[in-house]
Structure 1
Amino acid sequence: MNDWFKVRLSYSPRNDVTPLGNNTFYISIDWGVQGAGRPLGWALRLNAFADPNDNAADFVTARALQRNVTSIEAQSQICSWIRKCSGHECCLAQRDAILPARIIEVSPTRSPSAPRLLITNGGVGKYATLSYCWGASHSSLISSSNMEEYRHHLDVATLPKTIQDAISVTRAISIPYLWVDALCILQDSDEDKTREIAMMEQIFRDSLVTLVAASSDNASRGFLQLRSGHSTAYRVPFRISPSTFGTMSIQDLDDVIYDETLEPINRRAWTLQEQLLAQRLVIYSSHTLQWRCKAGIHNLGDSLNHSAFDEELYSETLFTLSKRYPESHLSLLQWMKIIHVYTERQASLPNDKLPALAGIVKEFSSELGPCYYAGLWEYCLLWQLMWKTFLPDRYQISKPSQYRAPSWSWASIEGRIWYEHYDDTSQYTPYNCAITHVDTTLKSINSPHGEVKDASLTLRALLRKAWFYPKTKNVLWVKGSDDSADSALDRHLEKFIEEHPEDAHTLDSSHGGAA
């Protein structure tokens, strides 16, 4: 018998990886003994990139990762992305928009290096928005007491580093105005907060571009630092044709796959709607600079963008607002996907749970509205009531100390939720149940999708006698259920009695003595 082995190199271009081209390779090695049964195997995924001036550049289209996000090339690339986006049929036209009530003028004519707060009075123009993490504390917030001072002059040196960086980028790419919540919403006025939060959907949708400080968990850190690198690349000769050779660099694909769910920005509740509503994103991620619009995602310098998860699912979720479904149930499925993502995030203030989603709610109201009750739509409300906590044994689930939403709403808890079989349209069938009354009382009539003071829900349905055992983690035993359910419950109760013998008599007496 002879030992053998086989080495294969293959590539499989994917539409969800940019740039398009032959940039992901697979090396597989199989070996064994002739006639000795099933062979063994091993495989490695590789990312390839080439110098733009190399002969291999036409075949291998990805380039080296660019870690300097403040270079002249980076600024030029942002401007180029904006120009190209204006030609995308799927992207909204870039035009002057009605400016938010207050905005930062980054380079006033009278003093270009001294930004100031501008009261717009309904004026129009192009502006950028900033999506970022505040962090534990925040200095230089606008209030009623300092607004007049800020209208004359903003001392940039006293601003949080992230806002300083945003002003610098906005000025560098020749956008005259920048909107930042901390400087454009009066932080000591609940009335102003309610009014401006209600405008968030329009503010982010109409901005020319949104700057995303993805890698910074605190406004004091900034986002223009040189990105660190850790992966090792190896240069190898590459034959393009029998007489033409080039060179490409290869590295382990696992070293370059980008998991954006790990970025600090994607743990904050408010930033989900900011990114969903924005038409164009310039993302300062932890590894490079990225561009995102409806046409796709691109890295600075055309380095490989390869997401750690299903890019198609991600694009459906985060760009769902650009799609319009004629069937309402398809819009509801998209809404459920967003709730899955949203409930993983945290709000600095517990009562922000509903307001931080209000802009997205407003967008969905054309398909699912107008009736909306503390996180749930009237359309298919029975189906939406069947949310569940996601892996409660693994992920912490808690309730806020103060009332935030009714118990039948997912917004009543802290923790990730999910809808079982939410993508199975066959589940949209009539129930032996009907809603006879549902109502919510808003904290402010000016915020129809925001905080609620109380809510009520009345159902008409069939009833079954049941016993409830809190110590068995909310297991319900229903008389007359099918045999398999009864058997499973019996096994559960037997285990419960073993662990809690002192409670055995309680279980026995509750349903006729049979545990």
Structure 2
Amino acid sequence: MPSRVIDVGLRDGSVEPRLYQSQGESGQWATLSHCWGKTVTTRLTLATLEDNMTAIPIATLSQNFRDAIAVTRILGIRYVWIDSLCIIQDSAEDWLQESAKMGDIYKKSLITIAGTNAEESTAGFLRKRSSEIRCHLRLSNDEEISVHVRPRIEWYGFAEIVGPLTRRAWVLQERLLAAQILHFGGQQMMWQCQTRTLAEGFCDADSAPEEQIPGAIESMLRIEFHARIEGSLPTEDDFSAKDKHNDTNLSRSHILETPSTIYPLRDNIYSQWYQVVALYANLKLTKQTDKLPAIAGIARQIQVRTADTYLAGLWERDMQRGLHWWYNPPGVMVRPSIPRAPSWSWASLDLTTEESLVPSSADFYLCATHASKYIPYEYDLTLISFSPELTEHGCLGSSLGSLTLRGLWNTAEFSKDLGVPLGRFSLSYPMPLALRGQEGICAAARLDVRQEQIEGLEMGCLQVGKFEYVGPKYPREEFVFALLLRRVGQRSDGSDLYARLGIAVLFSHCDPVLGWERREIDII
């Protein structure tokens, strides 16, 4: 059981709920998935810890918490875990300790109660329904029977479970890790587990086709994720050592069949991580410093299966693909005022709040989720080392930490000839680059953040690896991608420090060796 849970008391409500410290015992519990909103009326603090263990008066709780306790009682479950009532909110030490366990808390709970359409904790999710009508019917033999009639619940698709809750960043790992979820939508309840998705508004007992769900990838991921975590699929140990870093050899074709459909599983668990991050990157956070902690539960499950080292959103053994990320359109991101991740991590950026710059939609991409595929390359980037700060808090991530990378390096500057034709790259990579030792414009870049002042920056490109475009829009073609870096200072030993500025692509006529030198580069 979690360290603390809420003992909901008797079903009839004659006993007030109270905080219960489990001290490592086993048992069953429900979890609540909810939006905090602007107001959470009750929080566990150091001052209220002792009193809450005696009783938590229902009258003091916000409506979401009252509803969660009511549902837990009705289901016959003794305990429910609610984040703001079970984690001490004014203790950084307790928050770090308990937040690291949240993935397991949701994964191992008997059921997750989701207040899907409640915008904040005071809204409540047990909505009042239209009253049913009692009717007396006279049969042909003059016998009378009594029936209850209620308005039919219309089925409008799964839009009902894409409510305020599903737009919150913390909630993604709760949904993916939970084995069973009971959604409370605007008009009806919906059920999701590993094999079925059901709603009150269905006309029959068949499971709904998952492809009807907006963002259906989430349902596929949930099924695949549990299959992998529970050991029904091969682990990294099942592959030979020589195959571990070869994406092609790692690929396996597995099929998981369910009553409603058949899902092809991702070629490896790292690709699955990138799919999750692509969903997660643009979800909303109340506290911007939670960007890495809010996905730590999923990262921990990946770590258990791969025995890999987690580095602020990236993985040590899959660094080439992890570093190849970008937002589209370019230049719509800003760095938060308080750094929460190193510049090389996707977690270091936020979507800008300037209305004039915000597009109707902004998408986050990693190479594994877009129309490109990593292929072995003789000049591949090598991760030499990383600073200890990166692993200090495990999967909760770090705002500090550097990577030392070894690869082909070349100085770069933005071309003053902005009229140079960039062909297919004109929209995605609008900044032409001039590289040392190369004639003309042979590369183009996209900046992570829109910057007014880029003149005079000491910049360079560090080749990441080769990727093959496999999408339908253009012919199949191979490209070398590079990190665009700027010099930001020096270490005490005199070595230069760099930060990520963006990502660049080398054109097909660019010589990947001429003018390039193999160097070790420290990136913060």
2:447 is aligned with 1:477: no
- What TM-score comes out, normalization by structure 1 length? 0.64
**Deviation per residue, 1:141-169 (Å, 9 max, x gap):** 01111111111111111111100100011
Which letter maps to 1:288?
A: Q
In 2, the alpha carbon distance for the partners of 1:476 and 1:213 equals 49
Q: Distance in 2 between matches of 1:380 and 1:199?
A: 25
Match for residue 323 of structure 1 among 227, 247, 270: 227
> 2:377 is matched by which residue type in structure 1?
P
Deviation string, structure 1 residues 11-38 (Cα, Å, up to 9, x no partner): xxxxxxxxxxxxxxxxxxxxxxxxxxxx
Q: Secondary structure at the match of 2:414?
A: strand
Give 3-state SS (helix, strand or coil) of 1:358's partner. helix
Q: Which residue of 2 aligns with 1:102?
A: 4
Equivalent of residue 126 in structure 1, options 25, 28, 31: 28
1:354 to 272, 280, 292: 292
Task: Tell me the CA shift for residue 448 of structure 1.
Answer: 0.6
Which amino acid in 1 is paired with 2:269? S
How many residues get paired?
A: 367
The change in CA–CA distance for 1:356 and 1:311 in structure 2 (over 3 A counts) is closer
Equivalent AA in structure 1 for residue 223 of structure 2? F
Structure 1 residues 111 and 380, CA gap change in structure 2 (3 angstroms): closer
Cα 1:126–1:477, aligned 2, differ >3 Å: closer, same or farther? same
> Which of the residues 181, 184, 202 maps onto 1:281?
181
CA distance in 1, matches of 2:286, 2:81: 20
Secondary structure, in 3 states, of the residue corresponding to 2:333? coil
Out of 400, 413, 422, the position equivalent to 1:467 is 413
Q: How much has 1:310 moved relative to structure 2?
A: 6.5
Between the aligned partners of 2:16 and 2:152, the Cα distance in structure 1 is 47
User: Which residue in 2 is equivalent to 1:143?
Assistant: 45
Q: Does 1:302 align with 2:206?
A: no
Partner of 1:451: 397
CA offset digits 1:40-71 (Å, max 9, x no partner): xxxxxxxxxxxxxxxxxxxxxxxxxxxxxxxx
1:419 aligns with 2:366: yes
Choose between structure 1 and 2 for higher RCO, CA contacts under 8 A separated by at least 6 residues. 1
Letter in 2 for 1:290: M
Structure 2 distance, partners of 1:470, 1:417, is 29
CA distance in 2, matches of 1:109, 1:469: 72
2:308 maps to 1:370: yes
In 2: Cα distance, 1:285 partner to 1:112 partner: 29
Name the residue aligned to 1:432: 379
Note the 1:8-157 alignment, pairs <5 A.
Answer: 99-107=1-9, 112-157=14-59
Alignment correspondent of 2:156: 256
Structure 1 residues 482 and 264, CA, compared in 2 at 3 Å: closer, same or farther? Answer: farther
The equivalent residue for 2:85 is 183
The answer to whether 1:269 aligns with 2:173 is no
The Cα shift of 1:383 comes to 1.5
Contact 2:386 2:404 in 1 (8 A): no
Instruction: Sort the Cα spacing of 1:419 and 1:110 in 2 relative to 1 into closer, same or farther, 3 A.
Output: closer
Identity %: 30
For the aligned residue pairs, the C-alpha RMSD in angstroms reads 3.5
d(CA) in 2 for partners of 1:465 and 1:363? Answer: 40
Cα deviation for residue 423 of structure 1 reads 6.4
Q: CA 1:441/1:260 → structure 2, altered by over 3 Å: closer, same or farther?
A: farther
Is 1:441–1:453's contact at 8 Å kept on the other side of the alignment?
no
2:74 alignment partner in structure 1: 172
Distance 1:314 1:371 in 2: 25
The 5-angstrom pairing of residues 379-390 of structure 1 reads: 379-390=317-328
Partner-residue secondary structure (3-state), 1:282: strand
Cα deviation, 1:472-509, whole Å, max 9, x if unaligned, reads 787142357799x76x97xx9xxxxxxx9xx9xxxxxx
- Higher helix fraction: Structure 1 or Structure 2? 1
Unpaired runs of at least 5, structure 2: 131-150, 235-249, 252-266, 352-362, 419-428, 447-451, 456-524
Post-superposition Cα deviations, 1:250-296, rounded to whole Å, max 9, x if no partner, equal: 99x9x813336741111111111111111110011234211111012
Larger of the two Rg values belongs to structure = 1
**Alpha-carbon displacement from aligned partner over 1:414-449 (angstroms, at most 9, x marks no partner):** 14521245367852323513224342444884x311
For the 8 Å contact 1:127–1:175, the answer to whether it is kept is: yes
